[in-house]
């Protein structure tokens, strides 16, 4: 399982991030709350991204 720091970094830079508890009336979550763990795509028994883009997003962080 990825580290919490990695999941926060990926969640904050991911173009597909969608918070689990969001509505049109609410504002975007605070940066401290943005993480793969709080994204609707982070699911399953393996706790990985349903879109299968976690590794790609993580590698893109290393190149910035």
Tell me the pLDDT tens digit for each residue of 6-46: 999 999 999 999 888 765 555 666 767 899 999 999 986 77
Dihedral angle, C-alpha 3, 1, 53, 56, nearest 10 ° = 60
Look at residue 63 and tell me whether its pLDDT is greater than 70: no
Q: Using CA atoms, how far apart are residues 42 and 47, in angstroms rounded to an integer?
A: 6
Can you give the pLDDT at residue 33?
Answer: 81
Can you give the pLDDT at residue 8?
Answer: 93
Look at residue 64 and tell me whether its pLDDT is greater than 80: no
């Amino acid at each position: 399982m990825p580290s919490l720091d990695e999941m926060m970094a990926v969640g904050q830079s991911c173009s597909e991030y969608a918070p689990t508890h969001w509505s049109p009336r609410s504002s975007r979550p605070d940066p401290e709350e943005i993480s793969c763990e709080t994204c609707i795509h982070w699911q399953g028994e393996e706790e990985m991204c349903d879109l299968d883009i976690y590794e790609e997003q993580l590698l893109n962080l290393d190149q910035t």
